[in-house]
Structure 1
C-alpha cells in the first residue's frame, strides 16, 4: 500500500472511530429503513451496511455494540414507528405510556445490531482483510435468523433481503431464501468496503460483486414451478372498516351487510376472499343467522367464499383466530403462529402485570397446531395464513407441495395510515416468490393484492378505501429449491464459514507468535 492510500485509510479510520460516526449511525439506520416499502430505495441497504461494517472494523467490541445500538435506534425507530400508532390510538394507552412502550420496543430490537457489532468487532480485530467482508456478513445474518425465528416467537421485520424484490438479488430468493439472499447482499456491501484497503482488492472485489448481481439477474428468469390446472377467477374484498368501529356491537350488522353486498357483485368468481376477522363475531354467534345462508348462496353460484372470524374451542379458555371456507366443501384453518403481545403474552407474568398497570387489554388466542388439514377452495388445497403468519417463511413452505396457491387474510387497520401495511405486503410477496405460488392477500384497510409466483403484483387495491379487486390465477405445482430445503442449508453453510474463519484467525495468530 502506498503512502497516499495509508494516509487515506488512517483518516477514514479516525472518522469512523470518532464522535461523528456515532452521530451518523442513527442516520445510517434510517437509510436502511428507507430501503424497504413504501420508499423502496433498495440500494440504500448496501450503503447502510457498508457504513456499519466500516465502523465495526475499527472499533473496540464495546464501542461497536454501542454503534450498532445507535444504528438500530434509527432502523427500528423509523422503520417500526407504527407501533406508536397501534399502542396509542388503538391500544388505548396514554401519551407517555405510548412513548415509553414504543421506545422499549425499539430498544429491544436495537440490541440485535448491537450484538452483531460486538461479535463482529471481537473477531475482525484478530483477522486480516481477506476475510473481513465474510465475518460481519455472516454474523449479521445469523443474528437476523435468531431475531426472526427464536426471540419472542420471532420478529422478522426489516430483514435486509426483503428490501430487494426489485433488484437482481430477488433471483436468489426461490433458491436460498431470505437468509441466504441476505448474506449475499451483506457480502456485496462488505466486498465494496474492502476495496479501500488497496488496489489489489479493487479488481477482485468488483468482479465478485458483478458476478453476484449478474447471477441473481439470470436466476430471476427461471420458472421453478408450473401450472397444474385451469385458471381460477378470484375476487378479494377490502371493507375498510375502521378499527375503532370494527368490534362495536351496534356496527356488526352494517359490517356483515357491506361484505355481503360486495360479495354479490362477484358471484362470477370461483373464489371470493374476505379479510381477517371480517365477521366481527364468534362463529357460534352467527352460524345459523349469517354463515349458513351465505354458504347456500355460494353453493348456488358455484363459488367458494373464504371468510375469517374468531372461533371458540371445546373448552372455555380456548379461542382461535380462524379462516372458514364456505362452499361445497366447508373447511377451517386456525392461526398457528400467534403475534406476541397481540394474541398472546410472552414473558409471563411480567408482561401481564405491565399491561394490567397500563389498563391495556389484548387478545388471548390458542395456536391451531402444526398438523391441520389444508383448507380447500375451487377444488384445490391452499396454504392459509392469518396476518403476521405471512412473515414466517416456514408457515407456507411446510404446506408444499400440496398447496396450489397461498391465501393470506390480514387486518392492518391496527396501524392506521402508516407505513406498516406497505412493509407487510412486501414481506408477503416474498412468500409467493419462495414457494412459486400465487398469493391472494385480502386486508381490511390495505394493502389488498394478487401476487404472482415471481413476487410481482398482478393487481392491487387502493389502500384505505372500500374496494374489491378481481383477477385470474393458476393452481401451481412443483417445488422451488428453497421449498425443498428451507433455511437449514444456508444457515449451516454460514456457521461453517464462520467456524473456518475462526480457525484461520487462530492459525494466523499462532504463526505471528512463533519466533
Structure 2
C-alpha cells in the first residue's frame, strides 16, 4: 500500500488525474473488507497507516526543499523529519480504520455497508481531524482532487470535506464492485450510482449562490521573484525594498498588492520615510496599497501582517494580522524547539491575533485578506464571512491571499496552492486574488475559473480587474458542521439499522 498511496500525488494539481485517487482508495477498502485483514484490526490499521503515510509524504515532499536548501538540514535528517511528520498524521487514518472495524463487530455491520458507508464516513472524519487537531495540517485532503470535476458544485454546500466524503463514497462503490469480481448486477448498480452522483453535481452547477455587486476594481498584483536565500541577506535588503517600492509606484490602480513579507524588515527597522512615502502615493493617486511586512508592536511581539494605505486609511493604516501560524516556520510546537534550533529559518515565533478581522474597503468593494497557509482553512474564511453577515458589518466581496512560496522552489507546492484557492472560491462564491513572490500570482473568477495568471519564477506585475460578489453559500452559514452532522447521522443510522436487522435474524 506504500506504493499505491504515493501515487495519489498524481491526482492533485498540476497533473489532476483524480481517478487515481478513487482507484487507490477503492483498493484499500477492498483489502480492508477481506476476512484475513479485518479479522485482525491491528493489521488493517497498519495497512491504512502505510497508505496514508506514503500519500502525505509524496504530496508534501516539497517541504524537503525548505528544510534542506534554506533550513540547512542534512538530506537524511530532512527526509526523516518529513517521514516522522507523515507517520504522525497517518495515525488518524489508522485510528479511523480500527474504529470502523470495531463498529462492524459491535453493531454486526455487513461488509457491503462497511465499504459503502462506514469506511467512507470515517475516512472523511480522519481527514477532518488531520486538518483540525493541533492547529491542523490539511494539505492534500482528498476533496481537492475533485475541484475541477462536476462534483465541485457540492463545495458551496459541504466544503472540501464534503468532497472528501463523496470521493470516499465513489471509492467504496468501486471497491464493492471489485469485491464481487465485477459481477454484472453490481457493475450495473455501481455504475448507476456513479452516474447519479455526478449527475447531481451537474445539476448543482446551475445554482448560483452569490451575485455580482458594485463595480469591478482594477488590480495590480506584484510578483517580485526574489530568491529566498537572498531575501533575508543583509546585502540585498535595500535592493528588495527598492524593487517593491518601484513596482508599487509604477502605475496607479484601485488596489495594488505585494506578496507576504515583501519587505524583509520589521516595521521598526524600515527607513523612517519609507511607509509615509507609500502612503502619500496612495493619497495622490487614489490607489489602495496592501503591503506584506512583519509588524513589531513592542518588545518580542511580532505579527506577519498586511498594511493597507488608501484615501480611506490616510491617518491610520488598515491592518490584517495572520492568525493561523505555520508550525516550525512561525511558531514552535511544544517540545520541538531543539528542531527549530537546527534550522536556519527566521521568524520562528510570532504573536497570534484574533481570527475575526475586518475587510478593507476598496472603492465600493470589500477585500478580505489572508496570508499564505491560512488559505488551507476554508472553515475559518467561512467563519469570518458568517461573522460579518451576522454582526451587520461590512461583508467581504473579494478574497485575497498574499503568500511567499519561494521556500519551496519550482515544486508542486505552487499549483497545489492554486488548487486550494479555487476550492475557497467554490466554498464562498467570491473571486480570489493571489499574490506571491514567485508564483502562483492569479485572479480567479467567482465561478473558480482562472481569469489571469503570470508565469512562475518570473518578475512580473499582473494587471487585471475583478468583480466583487455578495450573498452567502450554505457552507458560509454552517461551515464544516454541515458535513460533520451528515456523516454522524449516516453512521448512527447505519449502526442502528444493522443492529435491528441482526436482532430480527437472531429471533
How many angstroms apart in 1 are the aligned matches of 2:344 and 2:476? 43
Find 1:499's aligned residue among 484, 488, 492. 492
Equivalent residue, structure 2, for 1:483? 476
**1:442 deviation in Å?**
0.3
Find 1:116's aligned residue among 96, 100, 110. 96
Equivalent residue, structure 1, for 2:324? 337
What are the equivalent positions in structure 2 for 1:25-424 lying under 5 Å apart?
A: 25-58=1-34, 59-60=37-38, 61-124=41-104, 126-132=108-114, 133-149=116-132, 151-196=133-178, 197=180, 198-267=183-252, 269-286=253-270, 288-313=272-297, 315-328=298-311, 329=313, 330-346=317-333, 348=334, 350-356=335-341, 363-400=348-385, 401=389, 402-424=395-417
The secondary structure found in structure 2 opposite 1:311 is strand
Going from structure 1 to structure 2, the CA distance change for 1:91 and 1:456 (only over 3 Å counts) comes to same
The secondary structure found in structure 2 opposite 1:156 is coil
How many angstroms apart in 2 are the aligned matches of 1:287 and 1:332? 19
The secondary structure found in structure 2 opposite 1:398 is helix
Tell me if the contact between 2:320 and 2:369 (Cα under 8 Å) persists in the aligned partners.
yes
**1:414 deviation in Å?**
1.0
Equivalent residue, structure 1, for 2:422? 429
1:179-211 CA-partner distances (Å, limit 9, x unpaired): 122212211221222134354433333222211
How many angstroms apart in 1 are the aligned matches of 2:449 and 2:415? 14
Instruction: Compute the TM-score of the two structures, normalised by the length of structure 1.
Output: 0.90
1:53-92 CA-partner distances (Å, limit 9, x unpaired): 1121111311111111221232122111111111111112
**1:292 deviation in Å?**
0.9
**1:114 deviation in Å?**
2.1
How many angstroms apart in 2 are the aligned matches of 1:381 and 1:283? 25
The secondary structure found in structure 1 opposite 2:463 is strand
1:394-450 CA-partner distances (Å, limit 9, x unpaired): 232123240010010001111112111111111111111111111111001111111
How many angstroms apart in 2 are the aligned matches of 1:394 and 1:228? 23
1:66-123 CA-partner distances (Å, limit 9, x unpaired): 1112212321221111111111111122233222212212211222222233223333
Pairwise CA RMSD of aligned residues? 1.9
- What 5-or-longer segments of structure 1 have no aligned partner? 1-24
How many angstroms apart in 2 are the aligned matches of 1:394 and 1:189? 25
1:283-320 CA-partner distances (Å, limit 9, x unpaired): 2222632111012112211111111100112x412210
The secondary structure found in structure 2 opposite 1:399 is helix
- What 5-or-longer segments of structure 2 have no aligned partner? 390-394
Equivalent residue, structure 1, for 2:462? 469
Equivalent residue, structure 2, for 1:438? 431
**Aligned structure 1 segments of 4 or more residues deviating by more than 4 angstroms:** 357-362, 511-514
Equivalent residue, structure 1, for 2:392? none
How many angstroms apart in 1 are the aligned matches of 2:25 and 2:192? 19
How many angstroms apart in 2 are the aligned matches of 1:419 and 1:113? 24
Tell me if the contact between 1:385 and 1:395 (Cα under 8 Å) persists in the aligned partners.
no
Q: Which moved more, 1:365-374 or 1:439-448?
A: 365-374
How many angstroms apart in 2 are the aligned matches of 1:429 and 1:506? 42
Tell me if the contact between 1:382 and 1:405 (Cα under 8 Å) persists in the aligned partners.
yes
How many angstroms apart in 2 are the aligned matches of 1:359 and 1:423? 26
Tell me if the contact between 2:219 and 2:463 (Cα under 8 Å) persists in the aligned partners.
yes
1:363-418 CA-partner distances (Å, limit 9, x unpaired): 10111213433333334332210000000012321232400100100011111121
Tell me if the contact between 1:91 and 1:361 (Cα under 8 Å) persists in the aligned partners.
no
